[in-house]
Amino acid sequence: MSGAPVYSLSDRAQAATSSAAWVRFAAPASLDEFWASWLDILCAQVGRVNGALLFLGGDGGGSYQPAAAWPGSFSNLVHLGPTAEETLKQRRGVVSIGAAPEPVMVGYPIELDGRLCGAVVLDIEPRSEAGVQLALRLVHWGSAWAIDMLRQQQVSDLTRRAEYLGLANEVIATTLQEIRLGSALLAAANELVARLGCERVAIGLKRGDGVLVEAISHTATFDSRSDLVRRIGDAMEEVLDLDVAIVHPPLGEDAIANLAHAALSSARSDACLLSVPLVDDGDMVGVITFERVRERPFDSSELGLCKTVGMLLGPIVELKRYQERGLWQRSVDALRGGAKALFGPGRPGIKLISLIVVLVIAAVTLVDTTYRVASQTVIEGEVQRAMVAPFRGYVAESFVRSGDTVKSGQALARLDDRELVLERTRWQSEAEQAQRRLRQAAAIQDRAAMLIASAQSEQARAKLALVEEQISRATLKAPFDGIVVVGDLSQLLGSPLEQGAVLFEIAPLDSYRVVLNVDEREIADVRVGQRGELALSGMPYQLLPFSVQQITPISTPQDGRNFFRVEARLERATDRLRPGMEGIGKVEIGDRKLIWIWTHSLVDWMWLWSWKWLR
């Protein structure tokens, strides 16, 4: 390119310049000085160089910036840009030779462990192909120094990061050793003061829209209304408002305004300040403010370290504060979290479940349904006749037992009547003898003897009639068609019986009553005439309607609770019914809200409990 400038130096001046470059290269005062001296030496080695540029960068983002230029003017080296781009793109040495007398562009990439770190581009005067190859070789050899410096930088960065990580781990370990939040914050502040050589470290936590100073290093207690604490709080709130870390004095020219930090610095004899946010899951939960004497300002590396400490301490501080919440705060946080999940973005599953719950609550609150009182139920015969022993005797025969169906007049059992037959014979004889004595007294006209004989005859006939009646009752017969509910004499043949002993109980087959044992807590809702349905254990799928006929005003204790006997009549009987069958009966009370049906028992119990203990 004919417009490219050409620089020339006398041999003596070139030697002096080279010597100075070697001195700066051997002991550079800064990294920029090292790269400038390295490029000077490289240009001197290649010779007849019109200009050179060194590009470095590529850390993650792929952006490369000029790090050094020779002979020092960036504006006259713009023509090296295309060659640099080609070199970075191809990641190999590039030579661009134009028509004579155009200069030659030489580019060479700088790589470290397979990572492209930059490129150096030289504008050299035209020369032979061998001269160009020599220049390219010299650039290749010279790049070793650049790679070595980059490696040293890498090692230095890793070492510094390890130190920072170790410091951060020690601060975190110190914080975790304390159980209470206040003690943990004070321990963290003391550790940071010792590790970073600060005069003071203060930690504040976000409270609403402001920041409250919670801990100051080496200070067990402090007055939050003091001027110092107030100024520290203002500086922390400045970080909260701007949502950035603040350094005073600022590190760069484009630093943001920090009026509160400047005021705190002036009050502390122009102290150097650094404030970084405590961050938990992207949200600022507090601020750490570091203070040093003005002779030791904070640099960019310490800013990065303090930011790291803030990001690591934030979750720990928030966790400890979360654990120390009161009951009220826990409830508020739970409601806030539920509202965020319910009304915030995402979480469709929770929203769907909440909608279903709301619909269910609305249904049970607004919908009416029939309220029914359930109770244990047993079937009894409407009439239940007991067959008893008519006299003292023995069981001779038994024809039926429990569960048998009998017809009216059917023989159930027969008692042994042999003694009664003998007794009948005796009284028959007594009656005949009394009659004979009566005739004899009448023949002799003995009125007294007639009266006595007549009385004896009447007595004998009465006794005979009684015996005849007992003999006729020796065979027990069914009074009506029905079923034997109780009684089985087949195992008692020949056993003695007392007069009046119950031998059988018979119930009719076409007339039943339902007995419901209603809990005392529900008996107030039951009324005569109410209807219901019955499901028996033996017929669970057939519902039998009934109506309430009578409520017995006497309770019976059972299983620690009181039950009232309620009698009802079946409206439709079935031939499958048998006395003694049990099941569940439900009496229809009326329409109630679903929520009342499901909760009234609990509400009643709570009301009684409160009345007992609180009133």
pLDDT value of residue 374: 92
What percent of the chain has a predicted confidence (pLDDT) above 90?
18
**Cα–Cα distance, 233 to 291 (Å, whole number):** 14
User: Higher model confidence: residue 505 or residue 60?
Assistant: 505
Confidence of residue 1 (pLDDT cuts 50, 70, 90): very low
Q: Picking from 180-189, 486-495, 590-599, which range would have the lowest pLDDT averaged per residue?
A: 486-495
**328-357 confidence digits (pLDDT tens):** 888 888 888 888 887 878 888 888 888 898
Average pLDDT of the segment spanning 573-585: 83
**Cα–Cα distance, 608 to 596 (Å, whole number):** 17
Average pLDDT of the segment spanning 187-202: 91
Residue 420 pLDDT > 80? no
User: Higher model confidence: residue 615 or residue 482?
Assistant: 482
Residue 14 pLDDT > 60? no
Q: Picking from 310-314, 487-491, 609-613, which range would have the lowest pLDDT averaged per residue?
A: 487-491
Confidence of residue 186 (pLDDT cuts 50, 70, 90): very high
- Which of 232, 299, 226, 229 has the alpha carbon at shortest distance from 263? 232
DSSP 3-state of 505: strand
Residue 9 pLDDT > 50? no
What percent of the chain has a predicted confidence (pLDDT) above 70?
93
Confidence of residue 231 (pLDDT cuts 50, 70, 90): very high
Residue 4 pLDDT > 50? no
pLDDT value of residue 278: 93
Residue 146 pLDDT > 80? yes
User: Higher model confidence: residue 337 or residue 138?
Assistant: 138
Q: Picking from 143-157, 398-412, 425-439, 520-534, which range would have the lowest pLDDT averaged per residue?
A: 398-412
User: Higher model confidence: residue 509 or residue 544?
Assistant: 544
Which uninterrupted H or E stretch holds 368?
strand 368-381
Q: Is residue 265 within 8 Å of residue 229, measured between CB atoms?
A: no
For the chain, what is the mean pLDDT? Answer: 83
Residue 6 pLDDT > 50? no
**47-99 confidence digits (pLDDT tens):** 888 889 888 886 555 678 888 888 875 557 788 888 888 888 888 888 887 65
Residue 475 pLDDT > 70? yes
Residue 145 pLDDT > 60? yes
pLDDT value of residue 530: 92
Residue 254 pLDDT > 60? no
Query: Would the pTM of this model clear 0.85, i.e. be above it?
Result: no
**Cα–Cα distance, 278 to 312 (Å, whole number):** 8
Q: Picking from 18-22, 212-216, 255-259, 555-559, which range would have the lowest pLDDT averaged per residue?
A: 18-22
- Full DSSP string of 201-258: EEEEEEETTEEEEEEETTBS---TTSHHHHHHHHHHHHHHHHTS-EEES-SSTTPPP-
**Cα–Cα distance, 189 to 216 (Å, whole number):** 7
pLDDT value of residue 5: 43
Neighbours of 526 (CB within 10 A): 19
- Which of 338, 213, 204, 230 has the alpha carbon at shortest distance from 284? 204
Confidence of residue 17 (pLDDT cuts 50, 70, 90): low
Residue 13 pLDDT > 50? no
